[in-house]
Amino acid sequence: MSQPPVALVTGGGTGIGAAVARRLVEDGYAVVVAGRRRDRLDAVVAQLGDAVTALELDVTDAAAVAAGVGGLERLDVLVNNAGGAIGLSPVESGDLAEWEAMYATNVLGTVRVTQAALPLLRRSPRATIVNVSSIAGERVYAGGGGYVAAKHGESVVSETLRLELNGEHVRVVDVRPGMVHTEEFSLTRLHGDRDAADKVYEGVDRPLVADDVAACVAFAVGLPQHVNIDALVVKPVAQAAPHLLHRGPIDWKDGS
C-alpha cells in the first residue's frame, strides 16, 4: 500500500492551523502539527486520530526547527501558519519588543522552516508551500504598524521565493485572510483582554472562521501541480477592506 502524502502545519495546535490539519486529513494526508504548546497539539491528535502526529516546535528556535523538520522522512506540503499579532500601538509609541516578536515568528519563522523543509519538498511530486499571511500583507491600517510590517514581510518572502524557484516544480501559495474569528488571535493581540477581544467581532454578521481559511488552503493544495495560486485574498462579505467593516445584520436571503 502506498504511503499517504505528508503535510507539516506550523501553529497547528489551535485556530487556523488546527482547522487546516483537519481538512488535509480529510483529503488523505498524514499531518504533522507543530507548535509550542504540547497540550494543544495533543488535543488535535486526540481529535483527528492516527493520521496526525504532534511535533513540539518553536519556529523562532533554529536548533529545534533543524531537528524537528530534519527528523521527517518525507514532506509533500508545508503550511507556514505560525505567527500572529501583538498590540495596536501607533508607530510613534510602538513597543519594539512586540515588533521584534512579530517579525521573528511571521517572517523569520516562515523562512527558517521553509529553509529546513525545501530539501524534503524537492523530492516530492506534490511539493507545495502555503504561507498563511494576511490582508495586512498588502494593505496598511492605523494602529497595525508592527503587524502590517511583519505580514508585508511574509508576503514578500512568498513572492521572492516563487521567483527563485522558477523552473522547479515547487509551488508557493500566499493565503491572505481578512477578519477571522478564532479563539486566540485578538485575545493575544490585545494582551488577554477578553472584553476588548470580543468587541473586535461585535456586530459583524458572519466573520470568517478557521474552517473557511482551511478550505482555501485545501483548495490551493488540491489543484493540479502545474496550477499555482500566487495569492488568495479571502475576507468575510462584511469586510470590504481592513478599514471598512459593516457592523450589523446582512440579508443573506437564505432564511437564517
Runs of H (alpha helix) within the chain: 15-26, 38-48, 62-70, 96-103, 110-121, 145-164, 185-189, 194-200, 210-222
User: In the annotation, is 147 catalytic?
Assistant: yes
Which of 95, 78, 85 minimizes the C-alpha distance to 15?
Answer: 85
Distance CA 92, CA 225 (A): 45
Give how far the C-alpha of residue 135 lies from the chain's centroid of Cα atoms, to the nearest Å: 12
CA-based torsion, 215, 218, 219, 220: positive or negative: positive
Tell me phi and psi for residue 45, to 5 degrees: -60, -45
Active-site option among 29, 103, 141, 147: 147
**Residue 171's beta-bridge partner residues?**
128
Taking the CB of residue 204, how many other CB atoms lie within 10 A of it?
A: 18
Indicate which residues carry an active-site annotation.
Answer: 147
